[in-house]
Amino acid sequence: MLASSPDKRSKEQRFWVFAGIAVAGFGLIGVGLLRLQVQQYDHYRRLAQENRIRLEVLRAPRGAIFDRHGVLLADNHPSFNIVFRPLPAESLERARQVVHPGWVARVGWLTGVDSATVSELVRSANRTGQSAMLRRNAPFEVLAAVEESRAELPGLDVVVEPMRRYPFGILAAHLLGYAGEINDRELAERATQDYRPGDLIGRSGVERSYEHFLRGRDGAEYVVVNAMGKRVSTLTEGPPLVPEAGSDVNLTLDLRVQQALEEAMAEVGRGAAVAIDPRDGGILGMVSRPVFDPNEFSQGLSFARWRELSEGGGANPLFNRAIQGTYPPGSTFKIVTMLAALRSGVSQPGSRYAPCSGAYFFGGRSFGCWKHEGHGSLDFPEAIQHSCDVYFYQVGLKLGLPPLEATARSFGLGGRTGIDLPQERQGLIPSPAWYDKRWGVGKWRKGLLLNLAIGQGELLVTPLQLALLAAQAGTGGHAIHPHVVQSVAGSPQFGVGSPVQPGPSAEPAVWAAVHQGLEEVVEAGTATLARVPNLRVGGKTGTAQNPHGKDHALFVCYAPAEDPVIGLAFVIENSGHGGSVAAPMAGHVLRRLFLPDSLQRDVKPVRLAVDSTAVVRGD
């Protein structure tokens, strides 16, 4: 056998080298295919599915809110929202187009949203994979412009979702509260509660207290999208998850009472009013001034508007003065002082003390009466009828602090009432221990009782507590628990079933004397402007000193006096005397509620008195 020539051997070697390389190449390809199609099959199958199938959340409508008679106070209506949906992962070129300045500028111009905000929202959506809300409740002209340009603006979409609506606008705004879009902090705090970006969440009032019931359960469906992220069809592999609406809530609020309160408070700059049912504690109406429109929050607020509402130059319209504002009770507290003195036996209905000459001297100081010329000699019912400070100075000294504190607390003053609204404040009823802590043990003087007896000094109460005081005084100490919700989803176990604290107790003769004095306040005393024809009303005026400006005007009452069905409290900041400012407002409400329809046309709007002394001067 002849040896191969060198050329032939070289060719054979090259052949086997190339063959080896080819085999190795095909081997690598085979291994790669095996790895892709077998080892990593599930991973790439999931990515492919994600690229063509998108989960779309179907927002659940919040439950509706009704008054006690079934009048609708809050519901939902369709909102056309402009959103950006992150593009499929395969659309890298499209994604680069979205963050292009030209795309951002055009979307900003079309939607009326600042370009910097659009850019930030889009980047966040691409990073998290969650849709971003660019504009909520867009007007028709904006929707039309977006729809015309959607083919040229990948990622832009229009969706229809339920939006919170309050048909009566500002009416009962602080009691109802408002719902706003959930923020990042709240999302982190509620990570286990299935909240998503763009969800509405109750932020105040009933919307916040009953968020768990009002909030529904979102639904979902899978849709097929193309490489541009545009919806092609709905995936038919299994039915969509239908959203479940939240539970409806029925309030104790009575729309007729609320409207009467709103009318009475129409010209008030700052203040609050509360109406309560003395029979069960149901809140019939609640007003706080200044006020806001909760519809603004559903539609979305600018940062400037939010600052205006949350700060308001110190007025803070979002602040619910009815349960969060604390004020000295002024002479309305004389109801507490009177009951404490009578039930402890310190005084009797016929007790007379040193006549009022316009001032009382104690500890080297002169303590004045609101009536500078004095009231003369008075018994207990007459003293409360005319709100004589000098008489109650003397009662306070005889009574002492412990009985006064105990009686105040039995009315629910100085502590949270437990109303089913958020952020209630408790006020202050000072005790001997409180003064010991503040001034030192035994270092506080007896003279402070003079101020406490007439509702001044360190005392602080909320308008809700004053309404509770009026209701319990009118019913002879009947214990009630203030609440705003009557039922949830038809179940009456909410609100009314809450535990109650015992009310103030006293002998029938004591209550008879208290009622006599309070009725005389309205009939012929400092609150004659609250009188209503053929209606017996018991009430008490108050004028609380304010170190920061003009005095606050207060008035509490209940009616009909023989069997009360409503208790009222008014606190009007920086306005003057209770008898000339607050009492007429209560009179307006009572006329609206108790006068026959034939006389309603004679009920005039309340005009806030600029100079309270021009009408009636009385504490």
What pLDDT, on a 0 to 100 scale, did the predictor assign at position 314?
63
Instruction: Enter the DSSP assignment of 39.
Output: I
> Across 6-20, 440-454, 457-471, 596-610, which has the greatest mean pLDDT?
457-471
DSSP H stretches of helix in 487-546 = 508-524
Q: pLDDT confidence of 237, banded at 50, 70, 90? A: low
CA distance 262 to 289: 10
State pTM to two decimals: 0.86
For range 314-321, the mean pLDDT? 88
Burial 541-550, CB ≥16 within 10 A → b, else e: bbbbeeeeee
Q: pLDDT confidence of 155, banded at 50, 70, 90? A: confident
Tokens linked to 565: 């069905």
Residues 446, 379 contacting (CB under 8 angstroms)? no
The residues, ordered by sequence, that sit 6+ positions from 263 with a Cβ below 8 Å of its Cβ are 588, 589, 592, 605, 606
Tell me the pLDDT tens digit for each residue of 520-570. Answer: 999 999 999 999 999 999 999 999 888 777 899 999 999 999 999 999 999
Compute the mean pLDDT over every residue in the chain, rounded to the nearest whole number: 86
Of 116, 84, 82, the residue nearest 101 (C-alpha): 116
DSSP H or E stretch at residue 556? strand 552-559
Q: Are strands 249-251 and 65-66 parallel, antiparallel or unpaired?
A: parallel
What angle separates helix 115-128 from helix 101-111, to the nearest 10 degrees?
A: 110
For range 197-201, the mean pLDDT? 82
Burial 247-280, CB ≥16 within 10 A → b, else e: bbbbbbbbbebbbbbbbbbeebebbbbbbbbbeb
What pLDDT, on a 0 to 100 scale, did the predictor assign at position 34?
72
Instruction: Enter the DSSP assignment of 484.
Output: S
What pLDDT, on a 0 to 100 scale, did the predictor assign at position 205?
97
The answer, yes or no, to whether the previous bond of 329 is cis (omega within 30 of 0) is: no
Higher confidence at residue 587 or residue 149?
Answer: 587
426, pLDDT greater than 70: yes
Residues 119, 98 contacting (CB under 8 angstroms)? no
What pLDDT, on a 0 to 100 scale, did the predictor assign at position 336?
98
Give percent of the chain with pLDDT exceeding 90. 54
Higher confidence at residue 305 or residue 604?
Answer: 305
CA distance 454 to 447: 12
Tell me the pLDDT tens digit for each residue of 341-397. Answer: 999 999 999 999 999 999 999 988 999 999 999 999 999 999 999 999 999 999 999
Q: Where are the domains of the chain?
A: 53-251, 255-614
The residues, ordered by sequence, that sit 6+ positions from 453 with a Cβ below 8 Å of its Cβ are 333, 334, 337, 392, 393, 395, 396, 397, 399, 404
Tokens linked to 342: 């009578």
CA distance 482 to 479: 10
What pLDDT, on a 0 to 100 scale, did the predictor assign at position 206?
97
**Topology adopted by domain 255-614:** Beta-lactamase (3.40.710)
What pLDDT, on a 0 to 100 scale, did the predictor assign at position 63?
95
453, pLDDT greater than 60: yes
**Sheet with 231-234, side-by-side order of all strands:** 53-58, 219-225, 231-234
Residues 188, 213 contacting (CB under 8 angstroms)? no
Q: Please report the sign of the dihedral spanned by the C-alpha atoms of residue 43, residue 44, residue 47, residue 49.
A: negative
3-state DSSP call for residue 413?
coil
Burial 411-447, CB ≥16 within 10 A → b, else e: bbbbeebbbbbbebbebbbbbeebbeeeeeeeebeee
611, pLDDT greater than 60: no
What pLDDT, on a 0 to 100 scale, did the predictor assign at position 249?
96
Residues 70, 250 contacting (CB under 8 angstroms)? yes
Residues 329, 542 contacting (CB under 8 angstroms)? yes
Q: pLDDT confidence of 412, banded at 50, 70, 90? A: very high
Q: Which of 83-87, 316-320, 460-464 is the least confident region?
A: 83-87
Residue whose pair of structure tokens reads 């009456």 in the numeric block = 492
For range 306-328, the mean pLDDT? 85
For range 184-191, the mean pLDDT? 84
Residue 409 neighbours by CB distance under 10 Å: 16
3-state DSSP call for residue 588?
helix
> Across 139-148, 235-244, 475-484, which has the greatest mean pLDDT?
475-484
182, pLDDT greater than 90: no
31, pLDDT greater than 90: no
What pLDDT, on a 0 to 100 scale, did the predictor assign at position 123?
82
- Three-class SS of 279-344: CCCEEEEEEEECCCCCHHHHHCCCHHHHHHHHCHHHCCCCCCHHHHCCECCHHHHHHHHHHHHHHH
600: exposed, middle or buried (Cβ count in 10 Å: 0-12, 13-18, 19+)? exposed
418, pLDDT greater than 80: yes
What pLDDT, on a 0 to 100 scale, did the predictor assign at position 27?
73
**Intrachain domains 53-251 and 255-614 with the same fold:** no
Q: Please report the sign of the dihedral spanned by the C-alpha atoms of residue 107, residue 109, residue 115, residue 121.
A: negative
Q: pLDDT confidence of 496, banded at 50, 70, 90? A: very low
Q: CA angle, 257 as apex, 254 and 258 as ends, to 5°? A: 85
Residue 339 neighbours by CB distance under 10 Å: 26
> Across 74-88, 157-171, 244-258, 585-599, which has the greatest mean pLDDT?
244-258
Residue whose pair of structure tokens reads 């606008």 in the numeric block = 169
254, pLDDT greater than 90: yes
What pLDDT, on a 0 to 100 scale, did the predictor assign at position 493?
57
The residues, ordered by sequence, that sit 6+ positions from 565 with a Cβ below 8 Å of its Cβ are 277, 278, 279, 559
For range 73-91, the mean pLDDT? 81
162, pLDDT greater than 60: yes
Q: pLDDT confidence of 226, banded at 50, 70, 90? A: low
Higher confidence at residue 488 or residue 33?
Answer: 488
The residues, ordered by sequence, that sit 6+ positions from 127 with a Cβ below 8 Å of its Cβ are none
What pLDDT, on a 0 to 100 scale, did the predictor assign at position 612?
43
3-state DSSP call for residue 463?
helix
Give percent of the chain with pLDDT exceeding 70. 86
For domain 53-251, give the CATH superfamily. Penicillin-binding protein 2a (Domain 2) (3.90.1310.10)
What pLDDT, on a 0 to 100 scale, did the predictor assign at position 521?
97
